Amino acid sequence: MPESSIAVLQNLATQLRIDSVRSTTAAGSGHPTTCLSAAEIMAAVFFAEMRFDPRDPQHPEADRFVLSKGHAAPILYAAWAAAGAFPREDVMQLRELSSDLEGHPTPRLSFVDVATGSLGQGLAAGVGIALNARRIESDYRTYVLMGDGESAEGSVWEAAQVAAFHKLDNLCAITDVNGFGQSRATQFAHDADAFMSRWKAFGWHVIGINGHDMAQVLAAFKEARQTTGRPTMIVASTLKGKGVKLFEDKDNWHGKALKKGAEADAAIAELEAQYIKTNDPAPVIPKPAQRRSEGALPNFSKALPTPAYKLGDVVATREAYGTALAALGAIDRRVVALDSDVKNSTFSERFEKVYPDRFYQMFIAEQVMVGAAMGLAARGAIAFPSSFACFLERAGDFVRMAGISNLNIKLAGSHAGVSIGEDGPSQMALEDLAMFRGVPNCTVFYPSDAMSAERLMALAADTHGPVYIRTTRPKTPVIYEASESFVAGGSKTIRQSDRDAVTVVAAGVTLFEALKAHDVLAAEGTAIRVIDLYSVQPVDRAGLIAAGRATNGRIITVEDHYAHGGIGDAVSEAVWDQGFKVQRLAVREIPRSGPPDVLIDKYGISGRAIVEAVRALVTT
Amino acid sequence: MPESSIAVLQNLATQLRIDSVRSTTAAGSGHPTTCLSAAEIMAAVFFAEMRFDPRDPQHPEADRFVLSKGHAAPILYAAWAAAGAFPREDVMQLRELSSDLEGHPTPRLSFVDVATGSLGQGLAAGVGIALNARRIESDYRTYVLMGDGESAEGSVWEAAQVAAFHKLDNLCAITDVNGFGQSRATQFAHDADAFMSRWKAFGWHVIGINGHDMAQVLAAFKEARQTTGRPTMIVASTLKGKGVKLFEDKDNWHGKALKKGAEADAAIAELEAQYIKTNDPAPVIPKPAQRRSEGALPNFSKALPTPAYKLGDVVATREAYGTALAALGAIDRRVVALDSDVKNSTFSERFEKVYPDRFYQMFIAEQVMVGAAMGLAARGAIAFPSSFACFLERAGDFVRMAGISNLNIKLAGSHAGVSIGEDGPSQMALEDLAMFRGVPNCTVFYPSDAMSAERLMALAADTHGPVYIRTTRPKTPVIYEASESFVAGGSKTIRQSDRDAVTVVAAGVTLFEALKAHDVLAAEGTAIRVIDLYSVQPVDRAGLIAAGRATNGRIITVEDHYAHGGIGDAVSEAVWDQGFKVQRLAVREIPRSGPPDVLIDKYGISGRAIVEAVRALVTT
């Protein structure tokens, strides 16, 4: 790299600093100081390291950049503008409602793969993006810029160990050690060695540099590119607010824009004085390798082999999940699966057995499992991470960000509810439906039998965006023929007559409790309608209203879930304008260990409980 | 430690192995193999290391033991039985509904401080328990037994760094490196060095031992006790299933009980043959230091100084939170606060300024913040961890386990909803009410003004168990006089007349939107009732039913939260048997950056939106 280019790159760093100050001042908010510490790194990675096409950021062979320290968004926007992705002056629309240049980056922008701004998530996404390069046999490289403060997040260390385990030498992260968090110095301040020793212990190749010395920055990227068998961490010692004396290396400047007028003008003048005179040519960004396409997506629902179950077979939906996952894997190689060391409980091991190269073991680390799935999905994979449903909550904030990113991930949670039995409350998911319904663009499926589980798996693969599939530990009887079809927002009426007194809405294990109640009540002359609400989000508003109208406006919901945020609330909202009575049978206290059937009854979601509720309701 | 005692301790280890096999076989499920790898460690810590009183496990000066690898519950129960806490034969009730010896430990048992079974949480709780020793100036020590598999959880490394930062030399953890996870070998299998180098890099004193060599185990505990200025990690190389050849060091035996009859009998005979003949006396467990009491808890609501706000003052509820937190700290020294580097946004810095010794900085690591709060609360503190509400989701699984433990923690989340404005969706909590309502024993407060915020803070301190307080970024006007009182399960009717057409239920920023709507509608001749639902859980069923009945069964809820799991669902469920129409105004898509007022209107929760909804509803 000739000396002259360093001058050009340094000038680009200065330009990025100026634009970060200008845009945040125009917005009246934002984080200029965290941008300024990273200016040399950003200039180097965008104009001397990555191969990409600024006009086609989603090119499948392009190197990837993830801004994990998402509050440095202004310098990300400044860099893409400098590269030619959009006019430089557009950065002045930062944080305006009409602009996609939001306070933190989201994939509304074509050059953003995953939304960041919840700190500590970028590296996990980077792991997934790097795994995807291996999946598509591409030599694209993945760069992740992290803050020192966010390195306190455990998810960073989950990603660290997974990247080392999978020997991701196509992954290069940079920690911008500027020493300050939001409210104070970080725990290590300017002690770069503290970071270096940690990353070394976690199996990474580690390079320590002065992050404001362009030659050192360039040399570090070169060394990273030449490192094989493990990922590289560049620990860059920097100063927050570098280049503007007012706030350089000073506390209490986090998240504060300079005031319009004298304050900002002085800072910009100070930065402009840092331009170096040079006649060196502008850098040329190398183009990515030739585009290869993975082709149009198949119709998974059509392609799925007909499940071989017969009515009355007894099969757990989690087992059907595993069978379907393997079948989807055969249909298209974009289907990948991720596990957190429970593959023999979730049955994702059935996928691993046939497609070990597309099965990613994350060990007991749900955050990186979901984060890596986000990265894979951002690069074209259809990613199926699965675990016990309750442990997916460990990754709740990743799920939230996956929703903001509208990524094509399909989460599956097994072992839902008290029906798991003796393992006790720590292993029971009783709030997972609430969590996934709380992601507005997330489809939520809850199959009751193996047949619908397989069909809904194919439908999940066909549905763009986040999908959650809830599966059950105990075996349940197959109730659907292979000819039955399922749609997002649909439901199935399993029992009905023209004199039904109450509609009972159930899913999963409680559907079979509702069927028991149906028979007991029938014997005493009371007919009930039984609905399988396999699609919890979106929900079958028209079907529920019709059923409610046919049953005197009386609906009972019954779910192996807490009363909040699940099926009861979904049904209640769907029929809000009807003046119906929607009674929720659900778990209402912290449960304990015991046999599944005993717990289902003890917590009020058994056939007996439904019978009692129906009897009480028809007399009101 | 004389040689003879080693024989006695080894025999105790054998007894614990036998009881672990017997109890899991009797239960027909459970995890014998993970118990057997830890038998020497358990025997040593219970019978040669800890000072405690088996008849009084909650003695405030007793050493503490946390079983982070909670699935090894059978050996925990066997150890307490061997120590005399309950009859040895009671271990045979493992996992029965009538027994508190559940599949994983919960504080239903007097010797359990925090529920475990969601892996990777025990050390964070241990950090809190160790911090509490410092708070009460006790020399009790804290021991945490961890699995090698669970060390993949990022929360472990959050706890690691915080323990080192706070120099917790009263904390000793043990990693049981038996090499196997649930479904396969762990990523490091029997490579103890991989663990040792990581813990060293994270600033711990590290001791590597053969975990089945009792002399080495004892020596390690002694060395840990003599280590000052940093916590100690004992990395113990072990064999899963040690002592029973059938499954010793074998894969595919995780979570499997031996079959009753020949299989279990042979294993027990094999273990019994391992007893060593000795006449050495049984060990004597040293008693804890003399009991000191912190006294009865005060009535915080009575003791809180009258807030100095006047009607119409404009103060953010997050600021009132900080003011009240400092005031509560003055009332009782059991009040402690924890931060994840946002103290200047949540205003918990007001507490730090006056009580720095009871303010615990966790840096950007929400899991250990909540986990340490759980540990502190388990030992008598009233712990207030706070962050941006959206980032508390990072600790969702800890919150779930805090609910199972029914711990006295008071979480506060600031920056709720789209009203934060320009920072964009990654910083907006729109599912936090759903998360906390999904903990059945969690009280949820959502103050609208500074006066109620302070009162509700005192009420939170007076309420045993988990409490969540949601605060708001923008300033809101004070609407309550100091004489106003607030109760869990209460609400306030802010506007009413005898001809109200609709009840509008709001809280936080939307209350002021409801007031705007009230005035607009009043001008056109439509009266509405406006309710401040400051207590979202429990909810004022009687008040809501009365209001609904007075307003033609029409209720509109309006909240700066997604439509799922929040105020709308809470109200709807409360009035389910009334046949009311409950319309939910809430955020229904992923929002974007923009000015707060613009976003509140764009996402349909503004005064204008309420006016339109009322107009439409009164014509139906």
Whether the pLDDT of residue B85 is over 90: the answer is yes
pLDDT reported for residue A620: 74
Chain-wide mean pLDDT for chain B? 97
Q: What is the ipTM of this complex?
A: 0.97
pLDDT reported for residue A136: 97
Mean pLDDT of B477-499: 97
What token pair was written down for A498?
């023209």
Greatest Cα-to-Cα distance within chain A, rounded to the nearest angstrom: 94
Residues of B in contact with A599 (CB under 8 A): 97
pLDDT reported for residue B342: 96
Greatest Cα-to-Cα distance within chain B, rounded to the nearest angstrom: 94
Question: Among A431, A502, A556, which would you mutate to test the B interface (most chain B Cβ atoms within 10 Å of its Cβ)?
Answer: A431
DSSP string, A397-443: HHHHHHHHHT--BEEEEESBSGGG-TT-GGG-BSSHHHHHHTSTT-E
pLDDT in tens, B184-231: 999 999 999 999 999 999 999 999 999 999 999 999 999 999 999 999
Q: Report yes or no: B247 and B253 within 8 Å, Cβ to Cβ.
A: yes
Q: Nearest-CA residue of chain B relative to A553?
A: B579
pLDDT reported for residue B424: 96
Nearest to B583 by CA among B600, B602, B563: B563
What token pair was written down for A260?
């319009």
Nearest to A333 by CA among A313, A314, A357: A357
d(CA B511, CA B607): 9
Q: Report yes or no: B447 and B390 within 8 Å, Cβ to Cβ.
A: no
Q: How far is A278 from chain B (nearest CA, A)?
A: 38
Contact A438 B564 (CB under 8 A): yes
- Smallest Cβ distance to B97: which of A104, A345, A592? A592
Q: How far is A80 from chain B (nearest CA, A)?
A: 19
pLDDT reported for residue B378: 98
d(CA B479, CA B449): 7
pLDDT reported for residue B1: 43
Residues of B in contact with A24 (CB under 8 A): none
Query: With the C-alpha atoms ordered A21, A22, A28, A30, is the resulting torsion angle positive or negative?
Result: negative
Q: How far is B596 from chain A (nearest CA, A)?
A: 10
Catalytic residue (choose from A40, A49, A366, A393): A366
What token pair was written down for B160?
């690691």
d(CA B493, CA B511): 11
Beta-bridge mates of residue B585: B558
Mean pLDDT of B45-71: 97
Report the interhelical angle of A366-378 vs A122-135 (nearest 10°). 50
Q: Report yes or no: A141 and A172 within 8 Å, Cβ to Cβ.
A: yes
Q: Nearest-CA residue of chain A relative to B98?
A: A594
- Interface contacts A/B by beta carbons within 8 Å: 341
Find tokens 């439409």 and name the residue: B616
Catalytic residue (choose from B40, B102, B366, B393): B366
Residues of B in contact with A555 (CB under 8 A): none
Backbone phi and psi for residue A377, each to the nearest 5 degrees, phi listed first: -65, -35
Contact B365 A153 (CB under 8 A): yes
Nearest to A318 by CA among A419, A190, A399, A247: A419
Helices (H), B232-357: 262-272, 300-303, 317-331, 343-346, 349-354
Residues of chain A with pLDDT under 50: 1-3
d(CA B337, CA B335): 7
Contacts 24+ apart (CB under 8 A), A321-324: A321/A346, A321/A347, A321/A348, A321/A386, A321/A412, A321/A414, A321/A453, A321/A457, A321/A469, A321/A471, A322/A346, A322/A347, A322/A348, A322/A349, A322/A350, A322/A351, A323/A347, A323/A350, A323/A450, A323/A454, A324/A453, A324/A454, A324/A457, A324/A458
What's the Cα-to-Cα distance from A269 to each of A15, A78, A272, rounded to whole Å?
A: 12, 18, 5
Whether the pLDDT of residue B2 is over 60: the answer is no
Contact B593 A344 (CB under 8 A): no
d(CA B146, CA B236): 10
d(CA B379, CA B60): 7
Question: Among A426, A437, A557, A620, which would you mutate to test the B interface (most chain B Cβ atoms within 10 Å of its Cβ)?
Answer: A426
Contact A434 B439 (CB under 8 A): no
Find tokens 């009355």 and name the residue: A312
- Smallest Cβ distance to B117: which of A155, A368, A426? A426
Contact A149 B581 (CB under 8 A): no
> CA dihedral defined by A424, A425, A430, A432, rounded to 10 degrees?
-100
pLDDT band for position B51 (50/70/90)? Answer: very high
3-state SS, residue B43: helix
Q: Report yes or no: B413 and B420 within 8 Å, Cβ to Cβ.
A: no
Residues of A in contact with B371 (CB under 8 A): none
Chain centre to alpha carbon of residue A356: 23
Find tokens 């307003």 and name the residue: B551
Q: How far is A54 from chain B (nearest CA, A)?
A: 24
Find tokens 């699995």 and name the residue: B147
Question: Among B112, B587, B593, B619, which would you mutate to test the A interface (most chain A Cβ atoms within 10 Å of its Cβ)?
Answer: B593
d(CA A532, CA B562): 25
Beta-bridge mates of residue B577: none
Nearest to A533 by CA among A500, A508, A561: A508
Backbone phi and psi for residue B364, each to the nearest 5 degrees, phi listed first: -80, 75
Is-catalytic flag, B366? yes
Beta-bridge mates of residue A416: A429
Q: Report yes or no: B467 and B460 within 8 Å, Cβ to Cβ.
A: yes
The number of beta carbons lying within 10 Å of the beta carbon of residue A500 is 21
> How open is the CA angle B419-B421-B427, to the nearest 5 degrees?
90
pLDDT reported for residue A481: 97
Q: Report yes or no: B75 and B20 within 8 Å, Cβ to Cβ.
A: yes
pLDDT reported for residue B620: 74
Report the interhelical angle of B3-27 vs B214-225 (nearest 10°). 100
Find tokens 């945490």 and name the residue: B144
The number of beta carbons lying within 10 Å of the beta carbon of residue B604 is 18
Whether the pLDDT of residue B169 is over 70: the answer is yes
The number of beta carbons lying within 10 Å of the beta carbon of residue B3 is 9
d(CA B264, CA B258): 5
Helix or strand run (H / E) with residue B528: strand B528-532
Q: Report yes or no: A205 and A268 within 8 Å, Cβ to Cβ.
A: no
pLDDT reported for residue B474: 96
- Going through A12-131 in order, the beta strands assigned E by DSSP cover 64-67
- Residue B139 gets which letter from DSSP? -
What token pair was written down for A387?
């675990």
pLDDT reported for residue A3: 47
What token pair was written down for B116?
């475990």
Q: Classify residue A332 as exposed, middle or buried by CB count within 10 Å of its CB (0-12, 13-18, 19+).
A: middle
